């Protein structure tokens, strides 16, 4: 049997979107976790407001909610995909929780391209 708190978490998800927890559970492909570009990527995500964080989660997972147990349970994969010069947007494969992330020349371009991608994502079109 579940406690009332456990049932609430299952039904409503984790209340806080802790992107440091998301980082702890993430896997990088083609990037080194200590390289400045990836550090900038995580900093950009941490600076997102709650609405932007929910949009990012929906973009990469298909759901804007944290799973039971926390965001490390997402097991996000961030894969290197293209580099400058590029105007490609980051793309996501929600079934695999995979983010294809180009390497941009600046943190500002990274922020701009991420926001453009998440703001213009349609997901599955379900309401």
Residues annotated catalytic, as ranges:
95
Name the residue among 65, 61, 37, 39 with its Cα closest to residue 50: 65
CB contact set of 45 (below 8 Å; sequence gap of 6+): 19, 22, 23, 53, 56, 114
Indicate the helix (H) or strand (E) that contains 98. Answer: strand 98-103
Interhelix angle 107-119/36-47, nearest 10 degrees: 50
Name the residue among 127, 31, 32, 119 with its Cα closest to residue 79: 31
């Amino acid at each position: 049997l579940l406690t009332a708190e456990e049932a609430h978490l299952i039904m409503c998800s984790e209340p806080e979107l802790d992107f440091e927890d998301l980082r702890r559970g993430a896997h990088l492909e083609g990037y080194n976790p200590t390289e400045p570009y990836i550090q900038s990527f995580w900093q950009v995500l941490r600076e997102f407001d709650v609405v932007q964080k929910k949009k990012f989660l929906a973009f990469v997972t298909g759901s804007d909610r944290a799973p039971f147990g926390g965001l490390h349970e997402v097991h996000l994969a961030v894969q290197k995909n293209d580099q400058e010069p590029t105007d490609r947007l980051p793309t996501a494969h929600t079934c695999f929780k995979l983010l294809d992330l180009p390497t941009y020349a600046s943190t500002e371009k990274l922020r701009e391209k991420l926001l453009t991608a998440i703001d213009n994502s349609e997901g599955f079109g379900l309401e």
